[in-house]
Structure 1
Amino acid sequence: MALSSRIGVYCSPIRHTYDSTAEEKMIGEANKGQSPLTNDTTCGVGCFKGKLLQRFANKKAYVFLYGLLGCVLSAAYSYFNGTITTLEKRFRIPTKTTGVITVGNDISTLFVSMVLSYYAGKGHRPRWIAVGVYTIVLFCIMNALPHFLYGPGEDALGLTEEYGRLDNKTDLDRHNRQTLCQKEESAVKCDTGDAGNIAPQLILFMAQLISGIGGSLYFTLGVSYMDDNIKRSKTPALVSFSYFIRMLGPAFGYALASLCLKFYISPSLTPKIDNQDPRWLGAWWVGWLLLAAIMFVSASLLGLFPKTLPRAAIRKAQERAFKGKDADEAHELPASFQDMIITFKRLVTNPTLMCNNFASIFYFMGYMPYWIFMPKYIETMYKQSASSASLITGTVGLVFSACGILISGLVITKFRPKARSLALWNVIVGAISVLGLISYAFLGCYTADPQGVTRGVGDSTSIQQCSADCYCDYVKYTPVCAHGESFISPCHAGCRNVQILNNGSKLFTDCSCVKNMTDAGDPLPQVASPGPCPVDCATKFYMFLSVVCLLKFSGATGRASNFLVSVRCVDEEDKPVAMGFGLMVMSLFAFIPSPIFFGYIIDTTCLVWGKTCSGTGNCWLYNGETLRYILNFTSASLVTIGTLFDMGVWFYVKDLKIFDDDEEEMTVVKDNEIKI
C-alpha cells in the first residue's frame, strides 16, 4: 500500500421534517421532465448559483471531480514516499523515525474519523470534504517549510561549484583530512551539521497530523455521498471509474518526485556530482508547492456540489411517498451522542463488517512497507538512483492496475455476481498476493552489497585490520571503488593520499586495503576512484517488476468488490459512520503500527550508519539479502492472516443484498424453502 487542522466543527443537531407538499411538487415536476431545485439540490454557494452551474449537478460530474481530487491527494502522499530517502539524508533521520512521522496522519484519523463522519455525514458532505482538503493544502505547505527554514544544508552546499571550491592548499589539506586515512584521531572531527535538530522532524510530523483530518473527511464522506446519489446498479461501474482516476495519483506523485529529485536541492547552484551519486540531494521541496495549488482549486470546485443531487432527491422523494412518513422519519434521526453510541454498537456486532475490517487491517499491514518504503527498497535491492526509484514506483504497474479496476467494475456491473462470489474473489486475490510477496524474497541483486563494504565494516565499530589505525569513525559516507570492490570512504580503503587529475577528477592512492595483485599474481595499483562500483542486476530487476505488475492487476480487481461488500453489509444510514469506523480501526491496528514496525525492521539491516556528534544519523547502506528475507516473509505472513478473515467474510455474506433486484430473488428463494 499506503492514506490536518480542523476548519470549523459541525456539531449542531440536524432535524429533518417531512414536507409532503414539497415532495409532491418535486415528484410532479420530475414527471413533467423538470429538474426541481431547492437549497439542498442547488449547485453553488452564496450568490454563485447560476443556471450554467446547475448543469454540473449530476453524478458523472461528481464522480469525475471526486476522483480527480483523490488523484491529487494520492499524489501528495506518494510524493512524500518518493522523497523519503532524500529527507532522511538531508535531516539525518533514521528510517524508524520516518515511520513515526508517517503515522501522524493516522493518529489524527484514529481520533476524529468516526466522530466527524457521524456529524458531518448528516450535514452538507461536499462542503465538509472541501474543508477537509483545505487542511491537506496546509499539509503540503508545511512539508515544504523545513527547506525555507533550514536551507539545503552544509553538506549539499559543499558539493557545489560555488561553495565547494578548494582555492588553496590549506583548504585542500583540511578537506583531505576529513576523508583520508589519518594517523591522529584529532584530525577527524565529528559531524555537527543538523544533528540533534528535531525541529524539521516535528514540522513534518505536525503536517501529517493535520492531513489526517482532511483525509478522513474525504474518504468517509465522499464514497457515502456517491453511493447515496447513484442507483445501486450503476455503483460498481462509477466507483471503479472513480478508483481509476484516483489510481493515477501515485503515478503522478512519484513521477513528480522523480522530476524534482533530478534537480539539485538548490536549483540555482551547480553540483559537482550527478544524481547517481548516493550523496545527491534533489529538490524535494518544489513539488509540494505545485500540489498545494492544484488541491486548493479542486477542493473549491467540489465544495460547490449540492447536499443532494437533483435526480437522487427525486428518487428519494418517490421512495418516501411510497413508504410513508413514518418510514422516512425512522431513518432520519437527529444527530446525538446517544444515537452515535447505538450506531457504534450496531457496527461492532456486525460480523460481516468486522471480518471485512480485520481482513483490510492485515492486508494493509502487509503491504504498508511497499507503499511507503518501495523507493528505498528499489534503491537498496537494485541500486537505482532516488529519482529512478520514484519514477519506477509510480509508473510501473499503472496500466495493469487501471485495467484491473476497470475490468472488474464492468464485469460486476454486467453480470451482477452474488455477494459470496465477490467475497470468494477477494480470497483468491489474497492468495495471489501471498505468493507474490514470497517470490519477492527470492528476487534480488545478490551482488548488491559489494565485498569491499561487507568485508570492510558492518557498522561504525567493525574495523578492518588494514584500516584499524585510520580513525574512520566520523568520516562521512564517501564511497570509492577499487578493482570491483566498494568501500565506505577513502579512509576505510586505507587511502592516505589523493591526486587531482588533469580532467579535475580525483584518484585516491596508497590504499592499504585495496588488493595489490590479481588472482593470477599480476600486480595491481592500490588506488581507488570516487563513487561506488557499478552493479548489473537488470535481469532480476525486470523479474521483480513483472511480479509487481501481476500483484497490481490482481489487487486492483478486488477493490470494487471489497467496497460493495463494506457498504452493503450495513444499514443505509450507517454508511458514513461505517466508513469512519473502518478508517479508525485500520489507523489503530494497521496504519499507525505498521510503518513504525517495518521502519524498525529496515533499520536492523543497516550496514553503514552516518555517525554524528549527538549519536547516529541516517543509514547509508543496508544488507540487501537480510532485508529481502525479513521484510517479504513478514509481509506475506500478515497478508495470509488477512486472507483468512476474507474467508470469514465469504461465510457471512450468504444472504447479503448487493443490487436492487437481489431482494426480489431472495424473497422467492425463501418462499420456495418454506414450501419444501
Structure 2
Amino acid sequence: MRDKNYACGVRFWHPEWLQKYATTKWFLGIYGLLGTVQAMSYMYFIVTLTTIERRFHMPSQTTGIVLSGNEISQILLSLILSYVGGQRNRPLWIAWGMVFCGLSCFILALPHLLYGLGDDAFHLTKEYFDIVGTKAHVILGNSTAIIPKKAEDRGLCKATVDEEECENIVKIVPLLLIFLSQFILGIGNTLYYSLGQTYLDDNTKKKNTPLMLAYAMALRMIGPIFGFFLGYVALNMFIDPSKTPLIDRNDPRWLGAWWFGWILLGTAMLMFSGLIALFPKRLPKDKAMLYDSHQPRTLLAEESKNLNGDLEIDTRSPPKDDLPKLKDLPKALGRLLKNRLIIFNNFAAIFYILGASGYMTFMARYMEVQFHRSSQSATIVVGPLTIGAMLTGLLLSGWVISKKRPSASKVLFWNVIVACVYMCGQFSYMFFYCGDTRTMMQNGVFNLTSTCNRDCHCDKATYSPVCHEPTGRTFFSPCHAGCQSWNKAENTYSDCTCALPEYSNLPTTPPSFAQIGTIHQEIKTFAPGSKQTTPKFFNPSVKPTSSTPASSFFDTLTAGACLEGCTWAFYGFTMLSLLVHWVGSSGRIGNVLVNYRAVSPEDKSFAQGLTLMMLSLFAMIPGPIIFGRVIDTTCLVWNYQCGKRGDCQLYDQEVFRYSMNGLSLVLTGLGAIFDVLVWFHGRNLDLYGEADEARLKEMEEKNNSDNTRKLPIS
C-alpha cells in the first residue's frame, strides 16, 4: 500500500499516473512559477503605485503606512505558521498561502469596482462632454467647440473661480481595502518563503542546494519583468476603458487602468495553488538525501537499515509525538535568539532592505522627478534590464557555489565586497539626473502668481507643465502661463499672455545659498486656495507695456515640460544600476545558506519564520514610511482639496536626490558592518552538508561490515 506521505494527490485521490511527478524538479518548476506570479504582483503594485496615489489623493507617508499591512501580518503570524506548518504537509500549506495571495489581488481591485474612475478622470472624458457644457472655448482643428469644464480648459486661464466640490472625495475606504489586501498577502508570503525553500533543501543533495535555490530565485526574479510589462499595458489603458478620454497618455492628469492586472494575477495564483497542493509531504529520496530535517528521527533510523539494496520507505505515519507543539515554541525561539550567526545575518538583511526600500517603493517617482520620464516609459526600460542583470548574477553565483564549493569564509567575505559595491553605487546615483528645466521664475522659484496671470484664478490649478519652446521655459500649468485656448488636434495652448517677450526677461538663475531655506519654506507653506495668492518672496518687476505689438501678444505653448538633452544621464544611471544589481544578486545565495546551516535541522523552517518576522518588523514596515516621510519633506507644491493636503505635485529635485540616496547609503553601510560580523563568526560553517555525507558513508560501511559478519561460513 502506498504511503500518502510520499504520494502525489490530495486526501483519498492518489492516481498512479500522477506519481511520476513526485520529483524535486517538478516541485521546483511549479514553486518557481508561483514565485514568478507572486513577484509579478509585487512589481505591478510598485509600477501602479503613483497612479493609485493620484486616484485616491494619497501622500507618500500614507502610502508607506498602507503598505505595512503585509508586514504586520508577518509579524503577528510568521512564527506560528512557520513553526507549525514547517513539520506538516508543506506543499499543502504553501497552496493555502497562495489562495490568500490570490484573494488579496481581488481585494486590491475592489476600490475601482466600488468607486469607479473618480470625478477628476471622468471630467476628462467625452462622456462628460455629452452631459455638461461650458463657456470656455477650445480649438478643435479648424473649428471651435464647447467642451466640459474640467477637460476643456485643461487648467486654462479663467475669469471666474469654480466652486470646489468636496462631497465625492473618497479616501478612507479605499485605503482600508488596500491595507486589508496587504495584510492577507502577508499570510501567503510567510507560507511561501518559510516553507517552500526549506522543502527544496530537504529534498535535494546539500551540495546541489545553492544551484536549486538559484533556479527558484531566478524564476521568481523573472516575475518583475512581466510585472513591468503588465503595468505598462495597464497604465496605457484609460482607467475606465469604456470611456473616451479627451487627453493623451503623456498628459500628467492621465490615469491608467491600475486595477486591471489584479484580476489576472489573482486568477493565476489560484490556478497554481491547486497544482502545488498535489505534491506529497515528503518526496521519495535517494541514499544521499536521507537527512531530512522534517522527517522524524525514527523514520531516518528505519530507512538507514535498508542501505544495501533498493531504498525501502517505511510506510508508517509519523508518531504524534514528533509533530510540533505550541508549548515548545518558546524553547525553539530561545535557541534561535541565542544564535549569534542567525541574528547578525538577519540584521545585515534588515539594513540592506531598509537601504533599498526607497528604490523598491518609490523608483517610479524617482525616475519621474530626476529624469522627467513617465513611470511607464522609465520602468519599461530600466526594469527588464535590471532584472536581466540580477538573473545572470544569481544563476552564476549558484552554479559557482554548487560546482566549485568555495569555503564558507570566501562566500561570506564576498558578501562584504557586495556591500561595498552597493555603497559605491548609491553614492554615484547622486550625480545622475536631468537638470530642472528653465521656468518662469523669480530668483529661481516657480512664479505661481504674476502680473500676467493675476486675473486667471490659478489657485486650484494642478501641476500640468507646459513648454514655451522658443525660450525653453516651463510653466506650472496652462493657467499660470495665462493661456486662454487649447488646440486639441495639436495639443497646444495659445493666447498665453505670460509667454510675451516682456516676461521672457525674468531671471531664471537658481537662488543663492542664503535664499534657499527661505524660498523653500515659502513655497511649502503656500496653500493653493488660501487668501494669500502671491508668495511674499515674489515681487514682479516686469510689467506689460502698451507698445507691445498685437502680433506678439499671442504665443503658443506645448503640453509637457521642456526637456533638456540629458539622455546620457538616464542611460548612465541605467548602466550603473545594472552593474550594482548584477554584483548584488551574487550574494543572495550565501545569505540564505547561512540561515539554513547555522541552525539545527528541526529549526530550519522556524528560522525562516523568525527572519521574516524580523525583516517585517525592522525593515519592511519602517522602510517605506521613513522614505515616504523623507520624500514628502522635499515637496514644493502640494495638491489641496477642500482644505486637505493630498499628493505632491512638484518636488525639489536636488534635495529629493541627495536625501534619498544619502539615507540609503548610510543604511547600507550599517548592513555592511553586520556582514563583517557574519563573515567572522561563520567562516568555518559547513555549507554543503559534508559532515552529513561523512556520517552517511560511515553508516554504510558499518552496515556492510555487520552484514558481512552475518554471512554463513561455507
TM above 0.5, one fold?
yes
Secondary structure of the 2:478 match is coil
CA contact (8 A) 1:95 1:599 kept: yes
Larger displacement relative to structure 2 (166-175 or 113-122): 166-175
User: Which residue pairs with 2:559 in the alignment?
Assistant: 531
1:190 aligns with 2:164: yes
Please report how far the alpha carbon of residue 511 of structure 1 lies from its aligned counterpart in structure 2 after TM superposition.
Answer: 2.1
Aligned to 1:425: 414
Deviates more, 1:430-439 or 1:474-483: 474-483
SS at match of 1:234: helix
534-543 or 300-309, which deviates more = 534-543
- Asked if the contact 2:218/2:391 (under 8 Å) is kept, the reply is yes
Contact 2:123 2:148 in 1 (8 A): no
Amino acid at match of 2:290: R
Would you say the 8 A contact 2:496–2:556 is kept in 1?
A: no
Correspondent of 1:128 among 90, 93, 99 = 93
Query: Superposition pairs for residues 556-635 of structure 1, below 5 Å?
Result: 556-635=585-664
Cα 1:330/1:129, change in 2 over 3 Å:
closer
Partner of 1:360: 349
Q: For residues 332 and 121 of structure 1, do their structure 2 counterparts lie closer, same or farther at Cα, with a shift above 3 Å needed?
A: farther
Match of 1:104 among 56, 61, 69: 69
Contact 2:597 2:685 in 1 (8 A): yes
Q: Hey, what's the Cα distance between the residues in 1 that align with 2:659 and 2:491?
A: 40
* Contact residue 376 and residue 389 of structure 1 kept, 8 A: no
Unpaired segments of 5 or more residues in structure 2? 137-145, 292-298, 307-313, 507-541, 543-547, 696-714
Instruction: State the one-letter code of the partner of 1:451.
Output: T
2-side partners of 1:502 and 1:645: how far apart? Answer: 58
Give the CA deviation at 1:528. 4.7
Give SS of 1:55's match: helix
CA distance in 2, matches of 1:517, 1:576: 68
Say which is worse superposed, 533-542 or 433-442, in terms of deviation. 533-542
Tell me which residue corresponds to 1:274.
Answer: 248
CA deviations over 1:126-158 (Å, ceiling 9, x no partner): 101110110111110011111111111122122
Report Cα offsets for 1:521-562 as digits up to 9, x if no partner. 998655352522331321100000001101111111111111
- Counting only pairs closer than 5 Å after superposition, residues 195-344 of structure 1 correspond to structure 2 as 195=169, 197-311=171-285, 315-316=290-291, 317=299, 322=304, 333-344=322-333
1:352-372 Cα shifts (integer Å, max 9, x gaps): 101000000000000011111
More moved, 543-552 vs 370-379: 370-379
Report the secondary structure of 2:241's partner residue: coil
SS in 2 for 1:490: coil
Q: Distance in 2 between matches of 1:300 and 1:278?
A: 42
Query: Structure 1 residues 602, 500: CA separation in 2 closer, same or farther (over 3 Å shift)?
Result: closer
Measured after TM superposition, the shift of residue 401 of structure 1 is 1.1
Offset of residue 488 of structure 1: 1.9
Cα displacement (A) at 1:393: 4.3
Q: Is the 8 A contact 2:355 2:668 kept in 1?
A: yes
CA distance in 2 between counterparts of 1:194 and 1:239 reads 50
User: Does residue 1:116 correspond to 2:81, yes or no?
Assistant: yes
**Percent of residue pairs bearing the same amino acid type:** 38
Q: Please say which of residues 307-316 and 273-282 is displaced more in the overlay.
A: 307-316
Rounded to whole Å, the distance in 1 between the matches of 2:680 and 2:67 is 35
Within 2, Cα distance between the matches of 1:87 and 1:532? Answer: 21
Deviates more, 1:231-240 or 1:503-512: 503-512
Q: Which moved more, 1:153-162 or 1:276-285?
A: 153-162
d(CA) in 2 for partners of 1:344, 1:366: 27
The residue that corresponds to 2:458 in the other structure is 472
**Alpha-carbon separation, structure 2, partners of 1:163 and 1:490:** 21
3-state SS of paired residue (2:687): coil
The 3-state SS of whatever aligns with 1:597 is helix
2: distance between equivalents of 1:329 and 1:501?
Answer: 77
The answer to which of 222-231 and 464-473 deviates more is 464-473
User: Which structure's CA Rg is the greater one?
Assistant: 2
Among 487, 492, 495, the residue aligned to 2:480: 492
| Equivalence for 1:509 | 495
2:158 is aligned with 1:179? no
Q: CA deviation at 1:471?
A: 3.7
Q: Structure 1 CA distance, aligned partners of 2:677 and 2:319?
A: 31
Q: Give yes or no for the alignment of 1:160 onto 2:125.
A: yes
CA shift for structure 1 position 510: 4.8
* Cα shift at 1:337: 3.0
Q: How does 1:351-390 map to 2 (within 5 A)?
A: 351-390=340-379
Q: How does 1:84-99 map to 2 (within 5 A)?
A: 84-99=49-64
Report if the CA contact (8 A) 1:121-1:221 is conserved: yes
355-364 or 155-164, larger mean C-alpha shift: 155-164
Contact persistence 2:55–2:255 (CA under 8 A): yes
For residues 88 and 376 of structure 1, the distance between their equivalents in structure 2, rounded to whole angstroms, comes to 11
Distance 2:235 2:154 in 1: 27
Alignment partners' CA distance in 1, 2:430 and 2:165 = 36
Question: How far, CA to CA, are the matches of 1:94 and 1:528 in structure 2?
Answer: 34
C-alpha deviations, 1:282-317, integer Å up to 9, x for none?
111111111111111111100110000011698355
TM-score computed with the length of structure 1 as normaliser: 0.86
Instruction: Give the conservation status (yes or no) of the 8 Å contact 1:177–1:188.
Output: no
- Equivalence for 1:674: none
Query: Normalized against structure 2, the TM-score is what?
Result: 0.81
Quick check: 135-144 or 378-387, which moved more?
378-387
Q: What amino acid maps onto 1:442 in structure 2?
A: F
Deviations 1:647-669 (A, max 9, x none): 00001013311112257899xxx
Which residue in the other structure is 1:546 paired with? 575
Q: Look up the equivalent residue of 2:569 and give its one-letter code.
A: K
- The two structures, once aligned, show a CA RMSD in angstroms of 3.0
8 Å CA contact 1:379–1:385 kept in 2: the answer is yes
Aligned counterparts of 2:286 and 2:692: Cα–Cα separation in 1: 21
Deviates more, 1:118-127 or 1:393-402: 393-402
Partner of 2:21, secondary structure, is coil
CA-CA distance at 1:97 after TM superposition: 0.9
Secondary structure of the equivalent of 1:163?
A: helix
Match of 2:535 in 1: none
| Residue aligned with 2:166, SS | coil
Contact 1:458 1:607 survives alignment (8 Å): no
Task: Report the Cα offset of residue 450 of structure 1.
Answer: 4.1
How far 1:47 moved relative to its partner?
Answer: 4.0
335 and 499 in structure 1: CA distance in 2 versus 1, 3 angstrom threshold: closer
Q: Which residue of 1 aligns with 2:294?
A: none
Name the stretch that deviates more: 103-112 or 268-277.
268-277
Given the superposition, is the C-alpha separation of residues 567 and 332 from structure 1 closer, same or farther in structure 2, using an over 3 Å criterion? farther
Q: Retained in 1: the 8 A contact 2:71–2:186?
A: yes
Amino acid of the structure 1 residue aligned with 2:381: I
Asked if structure 2 preserves the Cα contact closer than 8 Å seen for 1:445 and 1:537, the reply is yes
SS in 2 for 1:619: strand
Residue identity in the other structure for 2:261: G
What residue is the counterpart of 1:396 in the other structure? Answer: 385
- The answer on 1:46 being equivalent to 2:20 is no
Partners of 2:321 and 2:446 in 1: CA distance = 65
Offset of residue 333 of structure 1: 4.2
1:162-200 Cα distance to aligned partner (Å, 9 max, x none): 32467564766966788344566xx23335375353111
- Secondary structure in structure 2 of the residue aligned to 1:162: helix
Between Structure 1 and Structure 2, how many residues are aligned? 622
- Give the 3-state SS of the residue equivalent to 1:427 in structure 2: helix
